[in-house]
Structure 1
Amino acid sequence: MSTVCKLCLKPKPLRDSHIIPRAIYRRRKRFGKPQLVAVTIDESTPPDLSNCDPKEPLFCSSCENELLNNRYERYSDSLLTGKFPVRKNPQEIILENFKYERFYLYVISILWRASISSLDQFQGINLGNDFNEKLRKCIFIGNIKLGVSLKLDHFLRVSMYRVTDEQNMFDTRFIKSLILNPNVYRGKTKKEGMCYYFMIEGFFIVIRFSTKNDLHAVRTHREPAQVTGVFNSLSVPLCDFRNIPQLEHSLTGLILKAQNHGEL
């Protein structure tokens, strides 16, 4: 099937492209288990064995391999899975060999893919055509600059936590195996604002729009646990899942599913 690639905007044959990178699913399908357990957090839908790696025709082979995979995914996958040196202390883990712009655009690319996707599970993610186009350009050229003095990360702040369980209900291996699809959280107050989030490889990642009106405030504002490009290493705070409302809701729902439908 030939149509227009969503990244380079050229008419080319399209591949079945993953929203969350394929390597993350592939790692969980090792050991002779071709399917994963898919859990919908509601009151009625039972857990289901599924291929569970949503994909659809989005990108040409060149954009899929040379841009998304080679430029962003291989590096970021190595960073998140500990293939580079990692230091630990009781409050945080420190990831070495940190390349800010490559990792930032990796995260943004996942949000963007969810926003342009036509799949049902991502319909809550809609950044609008104009902003989708700004993200596409940044991802395509590998640069977060929007103008002379403005950058994409002035408006979209990425924060990241290493998820823990201080009460030891879940072991570390289980937490690292969880995949939480991109979703949106709308705060109850204007100050809370709105954010997007997902979870991969034991990291809870939050993407928040800046709500500042003043240009100086836009440039200088920092979110808790914000990923920045100041150093060649990235400090990621440890955070018990109970202190992350969106994650607590998901894991509590997972426990209830296990109780109602047998061990997951």
Structure 2
Amino acid sequence: MTKENPVCRLCGQVKPLENSHIIPRSFYKRIKKGTGQLLVVKEYKEPKLSNSDPKEKLLCFDCEQYLSKNYESYGTSIMRKSDNVIHNKECIYINNFRYKKFYIFYLSILWRASISNHPSFSAVSLDSSLERLISECIIADKIKIGAGSSMRLDHFFRLSIVRLVDVTNNIADSVIRSVISSFRIVKAVNSTVRAIIYYIILDGFLVTYVLTAGKDIHSARANRIKSQLLPGSSIKIDKVDIGTLKEVRDMFNLLIDKSKSRT
């Protein structure tokens, strides 16, 4: 690929490239509309106020529109459709849920982070064969892998989403929802499971991706993670106190200390 002959990373065609957002622009727009600035949390760095909105020439116009129309418009708006969303103290219920769209939407964010050269997303580096597999599923609007196979992306790319809350009310919910973190990575290895875990905070939600193949096809299908997103016409998203998640708690403590130092 050269500057004269740019290749779209989704369709693979030589076309002029757009300034593609890795994190969908609508996340940034909602936060900036409410607070003017968002809180960006990068790996090993203090949180800071920023108008940062990382983008990079990755996709052609047609693919940008395809992602927006088919996945982003649904994934970024579903939580705000009050007719389908029920909140209580412990969780959020979403009815009339479109699992495949939601799943591919969030997986597409991880994929974009992996193909990006922007330093903000350096923690995500998937194998090129995985990147290609995900892009093929995005284009085909499917999570099933290959013709005649019963394997699916969500058999080994598990997605967990929880809503972050502060039960002590020391941190306002508006602050929790104004945080966009960088991707973090954890490698987990024990006698039965080898996994790579990526997670990111967006719009008050902790989104976790767990990549593991399992011992065989049967264990790959059977494995589950806590608060895993599962197929169905409705889902339950747990609310989790930030005090129970050490790294998240430490991050928000930094936010509190930083805000106190300004007063």
Q: Do Structure 1 and Structure 2 share a fold, with TM-score over 0.5?
A: yes
Aligned to 1:13: 16
Number of residue pairs aligned between Structure 1 and Structure 2: 257
Partner Cα distance (1:204, 1:32) in 2 = 20
- Give 1:192 shift: 7.5
User: Does structure 2 retain, via aligned residues, the 8 Å contact 1:92–1:237?
Assistant: yes
Is 1:165 aligned to residue 171 of structure 2? no
Q: Is the Cα contact below 8 Å between 2:39 and 2:180 reproduced in 1?
A: no
Deviation at 1:211, TM superposition (A): 4.7
Report which stretch shifted further, 214-223 or 108-117.
214-223
CA apart distance, 1:140: 1.3
The CA distance in 2 between the partners of 1:254 and 1:91, in whole Å, is: 25
Does residue 94 (structure 1) correspond to residue 93 (structure 2)? The answer is yes
Tell me the SS of whatever aligns to 2:96. Answer: coil
Match of 2:230 among 228, 231, 241: 228
Contact 1:196 1:206 in 2 (8 A): yes
- In the other structure, the counterpart of 1:250 is 251
CA distance in 2, matches of 1:36, 1:52: 8
Work out the CA distance in 2 between the residues paired with 1:116 and 1:40.
18
In structure 1, list runs of 5 or more residues that go unmatched: none
**Alignment-mate amino acid for residue 18 of structure 1:** H
TM-score normalised by L of structure 1: 0.89
Change (3 A) 1:166 1:10: same
CA–CA separation in structure 1 for the residues paired with 2:207 and 2:109? 11
* Alpha-carbon distance change, 32 to 169 in structure 1, aligned in 2, over 3 angstroms: closer
Contact 1:84 1:95 in 2 (8 A): no
Q: 1:62 maps to which residue?
A: 62
How far did 1:9 drift? 0.5
Aligned-partner Cα distance in 1 for 2:194–2:254? 24
Q: How does 1:130-149 map to 2 (within 5 A)?
A: 130-147=129-146, 148-149=149-150
1: distance between equivalents of 2:34 and 2:104?
31
Q: Residue 81 in 1 paired to residue 80 in 2?
A: yes
Gap change, CA 1:149 and 1:39, over 3 Å in 2: closer
Flag as ranges the 4+ runs of structure 1 deviating above 6 A: none
User: What residue number does 1:179 align with?
Assistant: 180
Measure how far apart 1:46 and its partner are: 7.5
Contact 1:122 1:183 in 2 (8 A): no
CA deviation profile, 1:232-263 (whole Å, cap 9, x unmatched): 11101111012223322321222233334x16
1:154-212 CA-to-partner distances (Å, cap 9, x unmatched) read 01000111111011111222212221222212347565743111121211111101252
State the alpha-carbon separation in 1 of the partners of residues 230 and 43 from structure 2.
Answer: 32
Quote the Cα distance in structure 2 between the aligned partners of 1:255 and 1:56: 32
User: What displacement does 1:214 show?
Assistant: 2.3
CA distance in 1, matches of 2:35, 2:260: 26
Q: TM-score, normalised by structure 2?
A: 0.89
Q: Is the 8 Å Cα contact of residues 71 and 102 (structure 1) preserved in structure 2?
A: yes
Q: Deviations over 1:78-129 (max 9, x none)?
A: 1133454211233211012210000000010000000010001111110121
In the alignment, structure 2 segments of 5+ residues that lack a partner are none
Structure 1 residue 149, shift from structure 2 partner? 1.1
Whether contact under 8 Å (1:41, 1:253) holds in the other structure is no
Partner of 1:196: 198
How many percent of aligned residue pairs carry the same amino acid? 34
Structure 2 match to 1:111: 110
Contact 1:109 1:139 in 2 (8 A): yes
Q: 5 Å matches for 1:19-58?
A: 19-30=22-33, 33=36, 35-40=37-42, 42=44, 47=48, 49-58=49-58
Closer/same/farther in 2, CA of residues 237 and 50 from structure 1, 3 Å limit = closer
Letter in 1 for 2:157: L
Letter in 1 for 2:61: S
- Alpha-carbon spacing, 1:104–1:206, altered in 2? closer, same or farther (3 Å): same
